[in-house]
Structure 1
Amino acid sequence: MFHLILTACIAGSSEDCAPILLPEAETGTRTECEAQAERIADAWLKDRSGLIGAGTECQPTEELTALPLQQVAPGIHVYLGDPVQMEDSADGKIANLGAVIGEASVAVIDTGVSRAQGQELYAAIRRLTDLPVSHVILTHMHPDHALGTSVFKEAGAEILGHAAMPMALDVRAQSYLDSIARLYSPEEVIGTEITLPDRTVADRDSIDLGGRGLSLQAASTAHTDNDLTAFDEATGTLFAGDLVFRELAPVIDGSLIGWLEWLEVSPKPTPRVIVPGHGAVTDSWAVAIGPQTEFLTALRDATREAIAAGAPMSEAVPQITKSLQDKNDAWNSFSETAARDATAAYKELEWE
């Protein structure tokens, strides 16, 4: 199989360029790919006035830059991100991403921090199968999980997310794009766009990949207000998104109390494989959520204590953060995240 690669450059800067994989031109031969290259490249550039083309090339699948995927269960392949905060990463590839291969099609769970990473995930899937990517499931709106979606949309996939995700992502869109442009090189972010869900899940839904199904469940406000999990019935694999953090310190962008309530109820059926949003895959639910539950519980208790003592937020946040220092060695990016979480917790719990 051959794939069209457009070299796209920032207008007025011939040095700031990146390869753009255009899946519409995917063909069985180089000749077929080259025959439609100019038309497809021009059409893609037409609506992107800030970019100009600097040539095209048709590459075989084996020459594409691809993410390393690990098979964690039959037909389940996972990219394990570097479990640090985006500010501590050279390229933002910090989130775990997944691919579920059925008999008829493929589902992708989260797409990464940029179009570049989305393309590398697409290439990795193409090294495994020629089946179409029919669905993308976005576990929540955060940029490290959701900004690589456009390449899959162009490939014909239906994009699914929590019912609250379109608004949540739309209002943060420009700040997310500005953030990755500030943190990473132009080559890493050129072509990155916001892609909203085509279909949303308010409670439960399911998709069929042929011979296997994925069950989707929307959570109440927890890590964010738009968390969505995906469960592969064939293998018992749960893609928990950022409802489960391992190694990287948990970040509250929704509700501390809501998150703890979600953690109190074990999923049914009990998953045999848990893929967290960050950190290592495990086959134990207790192992998956134990340290995170301990951290969030300690955060809740310390925050309530500071509020009960009458400490204003400016004094309470350092006190709460200090009380959590015994957990510092258990988490990456702990200091910055603990202070942020203490602020979020105080704002939530002062109104109890």
Structure 2
Amino acid sequence: MFHLILTACLAGSAGTCAPVLLPAGYAADLAGCESGAGQIASGWLSRHDDLAGRGTDCVATDDLPALELHKIAPGLFVFQGDPVQLEDSGDGRIANLGVVIGGASVAVIDSGVSRAQGQELYAAIRRLTDKPVSHVILTHAHPDHVLGTAVFQEAGATVIGHRALPLALELRAGSYLDSMDALFPPEQMLGTGIVLPDATVDDVLEIDLGARRLTLTAAPTAHTDSDLTVFDHASATLFSGDLIFRLLTPILDGSLSGWLQWLDTPPDPAPRRIVPGHGPVAATWAEAVGPQTRFLRALEHATRARILAGQPMSQAVPEIVHAMQDMAAGWNAFDASVARDATAAYKELEWQ
């Protein structure tokens, strides 16, 4: 199989160029790929005013840059992100991404931090199967999980998220893209944009991939206000998104009370394995959530103590960070993340 690659450059900056994979050019042979290359590239560029084309090429599947996917069960694969904060990463590829291959089609769970990462995930899938990617499931709004979505939407996938995801992305689109552009070289982020869901989940949604069923469940406000989990029934695997952190210090962007309540309710049916948003796959619920639950309980206790003492937030946050130091072992990016968490927790709990 062959794939159409457009060399795209930032308009007015001839030296800033990157390969852009255009799924519409996917063909069984070289001639088929080349036959429609010009029209497909022109159509794509017409929707990206900030870019100019520098020619196209057709590349065989095995020659495309591809993410390394780890098989964790039959038909189930994971890209293992580096469990550090975006600011400590050279390319932003810190989130775990999932691929579920069914009898008829493929589902992707989170798409990565950039179009470039999304393209490499797409290429990795094409090395495994030629089945269509029917769904992209976004577990929440944060940029390390959602900014590679466009390449899959262009390939015909339906994009699905929590009912609150469209508003969350609309409100933060500009700041997310500006932040990623500031953190990473322009060649890494070229062509990256925000894609809103085609469908949303209010409570529970079932997806059939052909002899393989996924259950999507919308969570109450916890890590964020747009958290969604995915359960693969064939392998009894739960993809938690960032409702579960391992190794990387948890980040509170929703409700501390809601997050603790979610953690206190083990899933039913019980999963055989849990894929967190960050960090290694876990074999049991206790293994997956134990350290994070202890961290968040300590955060709650330290924050309530400072509120009960009548301290304003400016004084309370440094003391909460100090009180949390005994929890630092085993967590990456601890100090900066705890300060952020303490601020969010104080703002929430002072009104309770």
Instruction: Give the TM interval when normalised to the shorter protein.
Output: over 0.9
> Does the alignment pair 1:94 with 2:81?
no
Q: Which amino acid aligns with 2:309?
A: A
Cα deviations by residue, 1:170-207 (Å, 9 ceiling, x for unpaired): 10000000011000011110000100000000100010
Q: Which residue of 2 aligns with 1:237?
A: 237
1:34-113 matches, cutoff 5 A: 34-113=34-113
Q: Which residue of 1 aligns with 2:285?
A: 285
Q: Which amino acid aligns with 1:71?
A: K
Q: Which amino acid aligns with 2:248?
A: L
3-state SS of the aligned residue for 1:330? coil
> Does the alignment pair 1:149 with 2:128?
no
1:1-352 matches, cutoff 5 A: 1-352=1-352
Q: CA deviation at 1:47?
A: 1.7
Q: Which amino acid aligns with 2:83?
A: P
Q: CA deviation at 1:12?
A: 1.1
Cα deviations by residue, 1:128-184 (Å, 9 ceiling, x for unpaired): 000000000000000000010000000000000000000011100000000110000
Q: CA deviation at 1:329?
A: 2.1
- Runs of 4+ aligned structure 1 residues displaced above 6 Å come to none
* Partners of 1:257 and 1:237 in 2: CA distance: 26
3-state SS of the aligned residue for 2:329? helix
RMSD across aligned positions (CA): 0.5
Q: Which amino acid aligns with 1:43?
A: G
Q: Which amino acid aligns with 2:52?
A: I
* Partners of 2:49 and 2:205 in 1: CA distance: 38
Structure 2: stretches of 5+ with no match in the other structure: none
3-state SS of the aligned residue for 1:31? helix
Deviates more, 1:105-114 or 1:45-54: 45-54
* Partners of 2:240 and 2:222 in 1: CA distance: 12
3-state SS of the aligned residue for 1:275? strand
* Partners of 1:224 and 1:350 in 2: CA distance: 19
* Partners of 1:325 and 1:310 in 2: CA distance: 22
* Partners of 2:27 and 2:157 in 1: CA distance: 17
* Partners of 1:273 and 1:121 in 2: CA distance: 22
* Partners of 2:48 and 2:187 in 1: CA distance: 16
Q: CA deviation at 1:123?
A: 0.3
Q: CA deviation at 1:14?
A: 1.1
Aligned residues with identical type, % of pairs:
63
Q: Which amino acid aligns with 1:114?
A: S
Q: CA deviation at 1:66?
A: 0.3
Q: Which amino acid aligns with 1:24?
A: A
3-state SS of the aligned residue for 1:267? coil
Q: How many residue pairs get matched? A: 352
